Amino acid sequence: MMKTPLLLAPAGGMRALQTALRFGADAVYCGLQTYGLRAQAGNFDENALAEAARLVHAAGAKLYLTLNVFARDGDLPGMARAARMAQEIGVDAAIVSDLGALARIRRETPHLALHVSTQANATNAETARVYSALGASRVVLARELTLDEIERMAAELRGEIELEAFVHGAMCMAYSGRCLLSAALTGRSANGGACSQPCRWDYALTERKRPEEPLPIEEDARGTAVLSARDLCMIEHLPRLSRSGLACLKIEGRMKNELYVATVTGAYRRGLDAAKRGGGAYEALLPQLKRELECVSHRAYDTGFYFGAPQAPGGARGTEQAAEYVGYVLAAQGGELLVEMKNRYFAGDRLEAVTPDGPVPLTVEEIALEGTGEHVDAVRVPGQLARIPCRAAVSAGDLLRGPVRNRL
């Protein structure tokens, strides 16, 4: 009987990491200030990484560190030092994409497990075997593989090396994330961790030599988002993914806030657990899980390449969300919550608490500002602390969401 794959969640900072653990991640991946592909995330310094390792291991989970830039000669000594530091701290694995970096880190940190990044675009079993021979214990597969191909690869390898695949989050118009557009247009290299996301910009495209072959796109007065890919979502296919031979299912999102991490990690955790129970539990829960994923900021969802070509290779203009982040619960005791405000909310609002067991309805009966005790009709200042009554099953580390308001 196949084991349920590990659920791997992103953490751009400490609160996101704590949230990922609370909402059921089996492993968390994060980055340093350098050598990772999300330079603009909060990221971790050495002390924070050590604390992250302590928290993750106390929760019985694993911590992976991204060292996945395409390295220049000048990068390799620093990457090797970072890997040695990670090994000493107790990080469970480093995620690498560059062959030279893999070889040097393997040589200098023999006890640190190495996972090969999706940017290495491994698409066949022989490639996976080569990475295994070089000392890698896991390969994050190219996102262009279909689920049929993944299943055949897992069957052929029979556990020679672990396989991992992305199942949710943002995608870009680049092969396995290898994008040159950002560097060409802005001088910020996506492969060096500084992507400016030009695939999300609006463009007006013409091809003057083939006017009789118009591109099948829609555009408005602002142009078109023809290069902007949809977001990946495989929540409807967790039973098959669980049987596929994948060792780990990965959620994208180190640039996302803790509400995104909580919602997505929680949905996939509950979905995987329901699929494991069988007896129709997953099918009964699926409508709620799909609703959960509509609540976070996302582009139109797609199943990527899992079942052939994406439904639409581009055209995902802007984002949508059914709810917005209202507050983070710092404490819950004595029938009230201490909430750190993220977006304004009002007395009388009907909110939802996002908990590891699912959403819990909550009405804001009254609001008292922390410190002064002043009762107010609304909280409008980001970061402000306030107390609200609560008789529902809500705990510290849960999050509050509410209606999306007009911010004009």
Delineate the domains of the chain, giving CATH numbers in brackets. 6-174+229-302 (3.20.20.380), 324-402 (2.40.30.10)
pLDDT of 405 = 85
C-beta separation of 137 from 117 below 8 A: no
Q: How far apart, in Å, are the Cα atoms of 163 and each of 101, 116, 369?
A: 20, 10, 50
pLDDT of 3 = 85
Tally of CB atoms within 10 A around 300? 17
pLDDT of 186 = 73
pLDDT of 407 = 54
Q: How far apart, in Å, are the Cα atoms of 10 and each of 57, 229, 249, 254?
A: 16, 20, 12, 5
Hey, what are 296's tokens? 């976070």
pLDDT of residue 203 exceeding 50, the answer is yes
Confidence of residue 196 (pLDDT cuts 50, 70, 90): low
pLDDT of 172 = 75
Give mean pLDDT, residues 261-287: 97
C-beta separation of 330 from 340 below 8 A: yes
Tally of CB atoms within 10 A around 131? 21
Rg (CA), the chain: 22
Number of H helices, E strands in the chain: 10, 20
Long-range contacts of 17-22 (CB under 8 A, 24+ apart): 17/52, 17/55, 17/56, 18/55, 18/397, 19/258, 19/261, 19/262, 19/265, 19/397, 19/399, 20/261, 20/262, 20/265, 21/55, 21/56, 21/59, 21/61, 22/262, 22/356, 22/397
* Residue 301 backbone dihedrals phi, psi, to 5 degrees: -85, 155
Q: Which of 161-170, 202-211, 242-251 has the lowest mean pLDDT?
A: 202-211
* Residue 337 backbone dihedrals phi, psi, to 5 degrees: -115, 140
Confidence of residue 318 (pLDDT cuts 50, 70, 90): confident
DSSP 68: -
Percentage of the residues of the chain whose pLDDT score is greater than 70: 83
* Residue 191 backbone dihedrals phi, psi, to 5 degrees: -75, -10
DSSP 285: H
Q: Single out the residue of 63, 34, 36 nearest to residue 51, CA to CA.
A: 63
In angstroms, rounded to a whole number, what is the distance separating the alpha carbons of residues 100 and 387?
53
Return the half-sphere exposure (C-beta side, CA atoms, 13 A cut-off) of residue 364. 29
Q: Single out the residue of 118, 65, 115, 58 nearest to residue 87, CA to CA.
A: 65
Give mean pLDDT, residues 270-283: 96
* Residue 150 backbone dihedrals phi, psi, to 5 degrees: -65, -45
pLDDT of residue 61 exceeding 80, the answer is yes
pLDDT of residue 271 exceeding 70, the answer is yes
Taking only the tens place, the pLDDT of each residue in 161-195 is 999 999 999 887 676 666 666 666 677 765 656 66
Mention every residue, 6+ apart, whose C-beta is less than 8 A from residue 269.
7, 23, 24, 25, 356
Give mean pLDDT, residues 218-236: 71
In angstroms, rounded to a whole number, what is the distance separating the alpha carbons of residues 260 and 129?
35
pLDDT of 182 = 64
Q: How many residues does the chain have?
A: 408
Give mean pLDDT, residues 261-267: 98
In angstroms, rounded to a whole number, what is the distance separating the alpha carbons of residues 118 and 16?
22
176 bridge partner residues: none
Confidence of residue 408 (pLDDT cuts 50, 70, 90): very low
Taking only the tens place, the pLDDT of each residue in 121-169 is 999 999 999 999 999 999 999 999 999 999 999 999 999 999 999 999 9
Taking only the tens place, the pLDDT of each residue in 339-380 is 999 999 999 999 999 999 999 999 999 999 999 999 999 999
Is the pLDDT higher at 333 or at 36? Answer: 333
Tally of CB atoms within 10 A around 55? 16
pLDDT of residue 22 exceeding 80, the answer is yes
Mean pLDDT of the chain: 89
**pTM for this predicted structure:** 0.89
